[in-house]
Amino acid sequence: MNRHIAIYPSVMCSKPWDLKDYVNVFDKTGVDGIHFDVMDGHFVPNITLGTIDFNMIRSITDMPMNVHFMVERPEVIIPYFELKENDMCAFHPEATRQPHSLLLSLKSRNIKAGLAISPATSIDYIENCLDVLDFILVMAVNPGFGGQKMVANHLSKLEKIKALADKAAHKIEIIVDGNTTLENAKLMLKAGADSFVVGNSSIMKDGPEKFQENYKLYLERLQK
Ligand code: DX5
Ligand code: ZN
């Protein structure tokens, strides 16, 4: 029996006028959550979706949100978003002075807590927060933009992260974010990935009308 591979489509890859159609097709398709990228123009050289987009999406679907904060001082920004139980929230540990306590504060609200690890970020953060991590968002690209290419050290780093996550007494979901094309995703699965954020590089490249077909094909070919 094929294991479940969770898929989190990245709405920053949607054209603004397609957003509602995408959310409706995500619901229909049964994706595992909506990947919502927040960028502040400081931690990364880009600005994307904000609280208005978040609340609009929240108002038309009950799907969990998989929120990726690429911001300085995430402890200040996260409260602006109406996160609720079962949402997933990841931030970059180097962007805050107290990553462990921020993870704890998320868990105290029954929000799944994760660290987003860029290509150059030390995996010591994972080792030191292992007891409070629900998931790890492993960046296969440098954060800030969709449609980039996987960096050279990603797969070997992913293997190291998987080995660390396996040391925990509980299951820590390993989600890869960035350039998760079918070819790359097959290699990422072998290197230890459980789940994928999908954006311009893969399932979302043909618009909402093709999403369901692309999603089905992607999973079928990934399971082969
Ligand atoms: C990039 C974002 C990703 C990106 C994924 O900083 O975190 O979620 O939108 O897009 P692709 O799949 O095209 O790399
Ligand atoms: Zn992301």
Torsion of CA 213, 215, 185, 128, to 10 degrees: 170
- How high is the pLDDT of residue 1? 57
Query: How far is 10 from 18, CA to CA, in rounded Å?
Result: 13
- How high is the pLDDT of residue 70? 98
Architecture of domain 6-222: Alpha-Beta Barrel (3.20)
Catalytic residue among 37, 40, 87, 134: 37
Query: How far is 67 from 64, CA to CA, in rounded Å?
Result: 9
Q: What is the pTM of this model?
A: 0.97
The answer to whether the CB of 114 is under 6 A from ligand 1 is no
Rounded mean pLDDT, 67-86: 97
Q: Is 173 strand, coil or helix?
A: strand
pLDDT digits (tens, 9 = 90+) for 168-214: 999 999 999 999 999 999 999 999 999 999 998 899 999 999 999 99
pLDDT digits (tens, 9 = 90+) for 10-39: 999 999 999 999 999 999 999 999 999 999
166 is catalytic: no
Residues facing residue 219 across a β-bridge: none
Torsion of CA 178, 172, 99, 191, to 10 degrees: -40
The answer to whether the CB of 12 is under 6 A from ligand 1 is yes
pLDDT digits (tens, 9 = 90+) for 127-175: 999 999 999 999 999 999 988 999 999 999 999 999 999 999 999 999 9
Grade residue 6 by pLDDT with cuts at 50, 70 and 90.
very high
Substitution site in 36, 37, 151 for ligand 1 pocket (most atoms within 8 Å of beta carbon): 37
The answer to whether the CB of 179 is under 6 A from ligand 1 is yes
37 is catalytic: yes
The answer to whether the CB of 144 is under 6 A from ligand 1 is yes
Catalytic residue among 32, 87, 134, 177: 177
* Residues near ligand 2 ion, CB 5 Å cutoff: 37, 68, 177
The answer to whether the CB of 45 is under 6 A from ligand 1 is no
Rounded mean pLDDT, 121-132: 98
Strands 65-70 and 88-91: parallel
Run of H or E including 190: helix 182-191
